[in-house]
Chain A
Amino acid sequence: MAALLAVEAGAKTLVIFDTPAKPFSMVDEVAPVAILLTRFDPAPLRKAAAEITTQDITDADRVVLVGVAGVPKLSKEVLAALEGKPLLGIGAAASLAAGASGESKPKAVAGGHVVLGDSEWEARIDPFYASAPAGAEATANVVRDGKAQPLAWSKGDRFGFGALPGAPPLSDIFSDLLVDFYGAPGKPAAMYFLVEDFNPSSGSAALRRLSDYFAHLGVPFAVSTQVRNVPQGTAIEPREEFLAALRHAQSRGGVVLLRGADSAADIEKFRADGIAPAGFDDAPAAVGLPLHTGRISYKPSPDSEPEPFPASTALLLPDGAKLLPANVRGGADGVALDVVAERIRGIASMRGGVAGVVIPAWLPFQSMRDIADAARSSGVPVAEPLILSQQ
């Protein structure tokens, strides 16, 4: 089955949903699913159940059914067309993938644990649909009072996820199930370091020392940079010192990324000064360089501001490039040092999980080193960002 399902170039995934939001809510529950699918399909097609035709099913390689408020209502012809197509049911629609005629009754699971392999998270799951058919193989379970119920399961070319994967850990477990759904080869988890937003007001001494430290350890890293206007009163370094620090980072095994830049002119500005940008940070629409890091933004509801989505794997961009997630942030506006290693290990429990450890460039060296040491204590192998993005 793995060979049959193996992800192929140009795979077309059709996402069918009953309604985007739960009753009395405007939170888009389908958008996170669509984002997570971009791990294997750069442009999944999203359609409401009422608009689906048999042709849509015929054109698709895989079908994902999302039941937000109930099972999506599909015509008999459409249901018939689904036969033989790899099908993944999510939420209330998991029962449809399981072959049940009706919808399983949802319940909220509070104070339970979600177990994926050797990893375990405490999580509140609302709603939870117990939907796995007999003989299904569970990749993750919900455990409460010592009783385990499949949360993510597969049986042949049918896959089910009994909750809505809006945020970690559910979104991570859902993403792990996609490895089977797309028949993708299993990849080991990895992490990479990103020194974020080095600019003329950051101070170059800390970057130089961190570069030396990483070189001493033989640890590769990326540093994202930009030349930008700084607030009045902020001390900025002379241009030559700023650029020299970047060249120093490069000479110590660091790859330089342009943060927020999206034009060839930005690349040339740096190249003229002996700095060879290898990619972009927080600019997923930029083209011309192979490496992308950062976060995907989306609108949780139609009238809200965009928010970053917490991805734990590399995602495909529309042009086929990969976006490495920047998902473990240290420093004052990030997670506490004690939590860094735990967060990385959680991400690494997923097949192909990628932990992007963000070290803000404005931190003093000691704090930078603390973050790096805390991350390395997780035991997850550190990857060279450029190689990681090409795997």
Chain B
Amino acid sequence: MTARLHPLTFVVGAVRELLALIAAGATGLLVGGLSTAFYFTLVGLAFGLLFHVASWVTFTYVLHEDRIEFRRALIGRSVKTIPRDRIRGVDISASLPHRLLGLAVVHIDAGADGGEGELNAVSLAEAERLRGVLLARDAPVPPQRALGRMRRRWYLYAPLSGAYLLTPFALAGSLLGTVYNLGDDLGLITRERVESLGHDVVGLPTVLVLVLVILMLIAMPVMSVIAFTLFNWDFTVRERDGSVVAERGLLTRRSVSLERRRLRGVELADNPFERAAGVTRLGALITGLGDAAQRGRLLPAAPRAAAEALAARVVGNVPGPLTAHPPAARSRRVVRAVAPPAGVAALAVLAGQPWVAGACAAVAVLAVPLGLDRYRQLGHATDGERLTVRSGSLRRRQVVVEHSAVIGWRVRQTLFQRRLGLATLFAALGAGDGGCSATDMSEEGAVALAAAITPAWLDPFLDGPPGAGAEPTRAGGHRT
């Protein structure tokens, strides 16, 4: 049966062009003069519409017994075939225009060797039918199991992360930029107008400027909650057919499938504000996916207990309590935090810049508690199956990985660490950003921890029995 996409598809594709057309038309009418650039824009829009209609006419898909074919015949002819037994997942998503028209985009994922196909867009009913037909196998589809879900209240944590606080500025900036570009294209922006606008702004009364600034400050957290909610609405983590699926979004629903087979561990990250509120972010460490914070996100903001519970369902319990690192590490953390600003301050004194020197000295004093906190956050633990290490203060990360995910060890010791009897242990991972580090462990502790996790690798190189004066760890965790 040969089928086409839904006839309204080109409407969605053209919505952006139509919006631009309306905006340009309104601006043109407001000013009262239609310049050549405006006509060029019109011609461009017409071509865009034509293209959308043509690609709708020339694209067909056929569902066979054993395969699904996508045929495209716009310029060249192309047929893409996906064998039905290779299909691993069928995701349905819909942006706001799609939803208004009752359409949905079907995304067919057939793993690395089968490729993927997209039907943009079909009616919602057809999408559901396709999913039902394509995923119906001999074996019944394993039921979905919900692993975790955002609560309403958690959206209020958005301002803590800081990432969305600048949303009003970004919005205002992009709006101004669009207006400027549009005006420039239509020949509305002249030197005189810009200058007179500048004079008007400078001439505003101080009170008005103050009010604007205060409004902006109030808008920052409010807008950040709104933006955060738009992106992460109804954030749900499910278990489906060997994958962990994270779905999110209000206007555009996004779903990311993370294969269990490639999941190596999780990462809990927070900053001092989030720490004070007991909030943390959870990400997954996936082989071949470097970005745990964005694509591998499992919870964008949640109370620590909820995040740890989800982590436990995804990889297993977070080992604890963490073993603190030796006291020698404390002075090293403090020195390393204080040294850069103090050094700059000394240079500034030599160069005769008292103001710079004073500012740097103040920063250096503030760096002392930072260094102390960095030391307090250092820690590691293992429970025989999983290893966890924690470090950082302004951005604290706690990584939890399975022992079998460790693909190598690196121990680094600088001259200063050698004097203090410290060493930094890196566990190399084939996921995330390549590894995690336990900074400033004691020398014996680092070797003992590595030996406890992978005894077979270290024993040939150790002289005596490992773990003299070692950490409270249990041996175990051979690579299977």
A and B from one complex:
no
